[in-house]
Amino acid sequence: MVIIYIKMLKYNATIRIEPNPKCIRIRNKSCEAVTFLYNQTRTNRTHHQKTALALLLSLFLFSRLSLWKMVALERSLEAAMNARIIGSGSETMVLAHGFGGDQSVWDKVLPCLTKHYQVVLFDWTFSGAVKDPNLFDPLKYSSYDAFADDLIALLDELHLESSLVFVGHSMSGMIGCIASIKRPQLFNRLILVAASPRYINIDDYEGGFDDATIDGIISSIESDYENWTSNFALLVVDNSDPISVNNLAKCLKRMRHEFAVPLAKTVFRSDKRDILDKVTTPCTIIQTTNDIVVPGSVADYMHKKIKGKSTVEIVNTNGHFPQLTAHLEFLAVLAGVLGFEI
């Protein structure tokens, strides 16, 4: 019997196709089996099995699963997300980049961190560094929860199941919080770098933007992505570091435009304030002195709402990327919190 597995990314289900001399049976984890019968001659059984399987699979996928993105299970998350582990040390640190970036945003701090930790690096599926565009499904990733599930699955695949230090930049800060709620033993500390649970002002909460401004950002991404990437990089990275500005702009340009629009909606219209009082893992909130994306009031808000022990650390730099524009001070904060020497 030949068994073929197909991963259904949208619903995290697996379809199992079992061809035998009489039928092809298609299963998934949540539905009853669907069986297709077909005739078969004795003289060319293997050919008929392959032909029938291809035809029936195509019919099933087009009629029932046209909105699902698929990837063969044979390709691991580790390979799909360009995951790698480098460095030494008895403890493990996970570095997760934010919107439009890739793992290269950590390049300046890696030489130091890899002296003290095994460091896990990876690219989210929306990143331009990920080769397979089928991995990113805008519908599935319309919520941070799907990213948190990917994070947990990746770490499980790497056999890293507890007591990790998670460093999440921007949107990845909230993803790490969600993952820590889903799997409380996974992380022993969360480092939330320029993270925000909500970007839009409401009532007595200052997120930094009003609805009209967010609508304008998304409209600019939709209408002139190339120009927007250059302007956005100039806004969020300290202009005194033109190399970092240019590198971020290149990262943003590599991200597919068809991913950027729905992802921007997911990020900028998110509201995860309600999860903060469920986060019990100790947190360090790192904020820059002048971040156009996340005002200082957000760090104070998170500090008050997070249930676990938390502290706020300020890095003296402009912009949203302290790991790029003030990497030595950023490392000094990490060293003070985690107890290693630079």
CB count within 10 Å of CB 124 equals 29
Token output for 259: 């991913």
Helix axes 144-157, 171-182, angle to 10 degrees: 70
Cβ atoms of residues 302 and 195 within 8 Å: yes
Question: Token pair 């524009």 is at which residue?
Answer: 325
Q: What is the 3-state secondary structure (H, E, C) of the chain?
A: CCCEEEEECCCCEEEEEEECCCEEEEECCCCCCEEEECCCCCCCHHHHHHHHHHHHHHHHHHHHCCCCCEEECCCCHHHHCCCEEEECCCCEEEEECCCCCCHHHHCCCHHHHHHHCEEEECCCCCCCCCCCHHHCCCCHHHCHHHHHHHHHHHHHHCCCCCCEEEEEECHHHHHHHHHHHHCCCCEEEEEEECCCCECECECCECCCECHHHHHHHHHHHHHCHHHHHHHHHHHHECCCCHHHHHHHHHHHHHCCHHHHHHHHHHHHCCECHHHHHHCCCCEEEEEEEECCCCCHHHHHHHHHHCCCCEEEEEEEEEECCHHHHCHHHHHHHHHHHHCCCC
Q: Rounded to an integer, what distance in angstroms lies between the CA atom of residue 113 and that of residue 117?
A: 6
Which are the catalytic amino acids?
170, 291, 320
